[in-house]
Chains A and B, each alone.
Chain A
């Protein structure tokens, strides 16, 4: 379908990566975003890229080391992660995970306390040990967003910011146009990658997409001396040392939210920053003196089983819906590829992604959110 138009709703990593993949295939793409690219979860996340639970995992791992070159812009991707156990129970859990990886042929190595400190000099001798993942990694979310956006533009794709999509035009069982306040964008196919706003948009097409949104928070410190390994997780927090040296960390309880017509409210954050600070000071005791200089929140959506929904609908049959169910940054090189395949070929070329079909939720109970306790606080 070379030369035809695909309109993508949502300029987060999912929509932008899809747009870039489509543009690489010679498709004319337009990405519409309600504000600025990456302004929601895609620019506010932990940057982790190690999603072994996903059918997109192998493609994620294959692509990340090449992304800077493929996109032509730096993403700050760094390979490898380490998981540090701060309690006996965490050590049991992390070794359990390590065993699993070994059986799945994902290269991991158990580290003793001394080895942990060699890789992560800010760690103390109060840890039980660590697991070094020799796969996965992390990148800079904001830089990656912009890299996709610029690479897409370099291939002739368009990004139109400050343009919330308000609805669709349909004819003959297809979406023929995507509407904003000022214009209607004609299209041969549509990708809806609007994060927490997917349900609202899809409802306009009569399609129910079960997603619930929640807030998650992060803190960041001033720069620390660079460590040999910057992708340091453990103690039930996740994060990374940026290439500048800052420690950016998240984790902990989330708050379920309703999303209104204007989208998620990601500001302000909450005093959870203190609980993150405690755990980071425990995980990396030699960083405890470092100043926290910012905290922030982001809003992400989850499907009932916590797995992404990447699917091309039966009706209208030119619509691909893509929610990453709260773990979409790392997978973005691969999710974009899968979306491209669905739009152009109707099927994913590199992995079986039936697991991610929307139809798995056919017959889902109406009160699925209540049942799970995924309700906003009244």
Chain B
């Protein structure tokens, strides 16, 4: 084959990418209080500012516990996008102020990826954030980005936790305070740190029945004044306990049984043992992050032009060791959960299969495989959640690991008898929210993209059958299947 090289690889990505649709001096992701403040400050300094927030998210996403752990306890009101939009403006009067200050506001708009050049990528025309609404996705350029993505719920498995009515504190607060769209009546709250106490009091304010607070440690953990209010309201609090069993029906959870045998009727269990800073975007862009136990987990370590604010930057440091507290809950869970307790709800991975490093049920388990376990895997090196998730599929489902990634990492630390900090963070990947193919697709991509597109590298000698090398077919093959790369 006669190959005259042109010095240009027409199948390389160079120059094929689209430019962003718009560009702002500052893009703020997340329109909570700290995001709004950052946006208003930016606008006041004369910057062009885009403020986006994924809320209100679709009912389908909420059903998948995204972005918060809603546990199926939203009312039909969350199917009405206009009503929810209105509720957001009502609950956040500062949004109006931001708009008056000249901030461009997009609600119902998800930031699913942040991209910039760095080691391994030099082909981006400029740094961009990927956005999507219910109709389409697009890219927006920025000089500075502020991540005000807040914190998400930490879930914890107990027997029967994989049924409607088991939910997170942030989700419950959002359904109550923002949307007035919570469908439960009688709540058991797990935890007695401030998050749990505040959530219980909020539920009381909304006229709900708080059946009990359950604390795994032997003493209350949170602010004494808050606890006083709980006690004053006559809410029983159980210490040194966790959930040993639960009962449920078609509508979900109906009662729980504590480790000491106490039965409590409830339609909702609110897991309020901690929030996790929402650092998905930082991690997916491979930005620096660091574990900070007093601030709720991994937090962005900061880099120029990418700033985290609010809970995304970490929970307020009160000296409380959130990681140690959560580990106590997971330790208790490991004591009570039967081997067949589901840990990953999306992929239906049981505790036994997670710790046994066994594959999903659609695969055979030959003897050699059954003899493998976390124990044997640890002989090869420290536990890595990404490796374990590939083998067991825990965290590989449509909730993108939101319900199980944190507890799995803690279980791995406990089972391998290592500090939590030695377990690497399971990677987050873009899109950091599930996005339908038709939404993620760049339908109006530049023509150069298609021109450069080959199924693989576009090297004509790569796929010529051995039998045909040196025959006329080789040239026919190139003419038929390749364009441009070689003249």
- B-side contacts of A297, CB under 8 Å: 120
Query: Shortest CB–CB separation between residue B60 and chain A, in angstroms?
Result: 9
Known contacts A243-B362, A255-B12: A238-B466 contact under CB 8 Å: no
Known contacts A278-B443, A373-B6: A289-B437 contact under CB 8 Å: yes
Q: Mark A284-299, 1 if CB is under 8 A from B, else 0.
A: 0001111111111101
A295–B429 touching, CB < 8 Å: yes
Known contacts A161-B380, A373-B7: A289-B438 contact under CB 8 Å: yes
- B-side contacts of A289, CB under 8 Å: 436-438
A275–B445 touching, CB < 8 Å: yes
Decide yes or no whether A345 CB sits under 8 A from chain B: no
State which of B196-204, B229-237, B406-414, B454-462 sits at the interface with chain A.
B454-462
A253–B453 touching, CB < 8 Å: yes
Query: Shortest CB–CB separation between residue A130 and chain B, in angstroms?
Result: 15
Query: Shortest CB–CB separation between residue A256 and chain B, in angstroms?
Result: 6
Decide yes or no whether A185 CB sits under 8 A from chain B: no
- B-side contacts of A280, CB under 8 Å: 437
Decide yes or no whether B473 CB sits under 8 A from chain A: yes
Query: Shortest CB–CB separation between residue B47 and chain A, in angstroms?
Result: 24
- A-side contacts of B7, CB under 8 Å: 370-373
- B-side contacts of A371, CB under 8 Å: 5, 7
Among B6, B113, B456, max chain A CB count under 10 A is at B456
Known contacts A243-B363, A292-B434: A36-B442 contact under CB 8 Å: no
Bound complex: CA A253 to CA B427 (Å): 24
B441–A281 touching, CB < 8 Å: yes
- B-side contacts of A325, CB under 8 Å: 462
Bound complex: CA A14 to CA B397 (Å): 29
B461–A307 touching, CB < 8 Å: yes
- B-side contacts of A257, CB under 8 Å: 120
Decide yes or no whether A377 CB sits under 8 A from chain B: yes
A222–B366 touching, CB < 8 Å: no
A306–B120 touching, CB < 8 Å: no
B462–A236 touching, CB < 8 Å: no
What is the interface of chain A mostly: helix, strand, loop, or mixed?
Answer: mixed
B391–A146 touching, CB < 8 Å: yes
Query: Shortest CB–CB separation between residue A102 and chain B, in angstroms?
Result: 12
Question: From A46, which residue of chain B is reached at the shortest CB distance?
Answer: B456
B430–A53 touching, CB < 8 Å: no
- B-side contacts of A161, CB under 8 Å: 380-381
Query: Shortest CB–CB separation between residue B390 and chain A, in angstroms?
Result: 4
Decide yes or no whether A62 CB sits under 8 A from chain B: no
Query: Shortest CB–CB separation between residue B405 and chain A, in angstroms?
Result: 13
B462–A307 touching, CB < 8 Å: yes
B12–A305 touching, CB < 8 Å: no
Interface size band for B: 35 or more
B455–A274 touching, CB < 8 Å: no
- B-side contacts of A292, CB under 8 Å: 431, 434-437, 440
Interface size band for A: 35 or more
Q: How many A-B residue pairs have CB under 8 A?
A: 255
Q: Mark A215-249, 1 if CB is under 8 A from B, else 0.
A: 11001011100000000010011100001100000
A253–B437 touching, CB < 8 Å: no
Q: Mark A29-65, 1 if CB is under 8 A from B, else 0.
A: 0000000110000010000000011110100000000
Bound complex: CA A266 to CA B477 (Å): 32
Query: Shortest CB–CB separation between residue A33 and chain B, in angstroms?
Result: 9
Bound complex: CA A22 to CA B269 (Å): 55
Bound complex: CA A254 to CA B381 (Å): 33
Within 8 A of B (CB), among A282-322: 287-297, 299, 302, 305-307
Within 8 A of A (CB), among B111-165: 113, 115, 118-124, 128, 130, 137, 139
Bound complex: CA A154 to CA B14 (Å): 46
> Could you say which of B437, B453, B462 contacts A305, with CB atoms under 8 Å apart?
B462
Bound complex: CA A238 to CA B455 (Å): 7
A326–B369 touching, CB < 8 Å: no
Decide yes or no whether A159 CB sits under 8 A from chain B: yes
Decide yes or no whether B93 CB sits under 8 A from chain A: no
Decide yes or no whether B464 CB sits under 8 A from chain A: yes
A271–B441 touching, CB < 8 Å: no
Decide yes or no whether B368 CB sits under 8 A from chain A: yes
Within 8 A of A (CB), among B431-487: 431, 434-438, 440-443, 445, 449, 452-457, 459, 461-469, 473, 477, 480-481
Decide yes or no whether A4 CB sits under 8 A from chain B: no
Query: Shortest CB–CB separation between residue A6 and chain B, in angstroms?
Result: 19
Decide yes or no whether A206 CB sits under 8 A from chain B: no
B441–A278 touching, CB < 8 Å: yes
Question: From B5, which residue of chain A is reached at the shortest CB distance?
Answer: A371
Bound complex: CA A97 to CA B480 (Å): 9
Decide yes or no whether A7 CB sits under 8 A from chain B: no
Decide yes or no whether B364 CB sits under 8 A from chain A: yes
Q: Mark B85-124, 1 if CB is under 8 A from A, else 0.
A: 0000000000000000000000000000101001111111
A142–B431 touching, CB < 8 Å: no
> Could you say which of A100, A266, A307 contacts B120, with CB atoms under 8 Å apart?
A266
- B-side contacts of A372, CB under 8 Å: 5, 7, 9
Decide yes or no whether B393 CB sits under 8 A from chain A: yes
Decide yes or no whether A124 CB sits under 8 A from chain B: no
- B-side contacts of A143, CB under 8 Å: 359, 363, 390-391
Query: Shortest CB–CB separation between residue A39 and chain B, in angstroms?
Result: 8
Query: Shortest CB–CB separation between residue B73 and chain A, in angstroms?
Result: 22
Decide yes or no whether B186 CB sits under 8 A from chain A: no
Query: Shortest CB–CB separation between residue A287 and chain B, in angstroms?
Result: 6
Bound complex: CA A97 to CA B473 (Å): 11
Question: From B445, which residue of chain A is reached at the shortest CB distance?
Answer: A275
- A-side contacts of B431, CB under 8 Å: 273, 292-295
Decide yes or no whether A265 CB sits under 8 A from chain B: yes
- A-side contacts of B265, CB under 8 Å: none
Query: Shortest CB–CB separation between residue B335 and chain A, in angstroms?
Result: 30
A252–B284 touching, CB < 8 Å: no
- A-side contacts of B382, CB under 8 Å: 162
Decide yes or no whether A9 CB sits under 8 A from chain B: no
Add 4 more A-B contacts to A255-B122, A273-B440, A293-B400 (CB < 8 A).
A146-B390, A243-B362, A253-B14, A296-B429
| 10 A-B pairs with the lowest CB-CB distances in the bound complex, closest first | A265-B120, A306-B462, A291-B434, A373-B9, A306-B459, A278-B441, A274-B442, A253-B13, A371-B5, A72-B368
Hey, which bits of chain B sit against chain A, CB under 8 A?
A: 5-14, 16-17, 113, 115, 118-124, 128, 130, 137, 139, 284-286, 347, 359-360, 362-364, 366-369, 372, 380-382, 384, 387, 390-391, 393, 396-398, 400, 427, 429-431, 434-438, 440-443, 445, 449, 452-457, 459, 461-469, 473, 477, 480-481
Name 6 interchain pairs, CB-CB below 8 A, sorted by A.
Answer: A93-B480, A100-B473, A243-B362, A254-B11, A273-B440, A277-B437
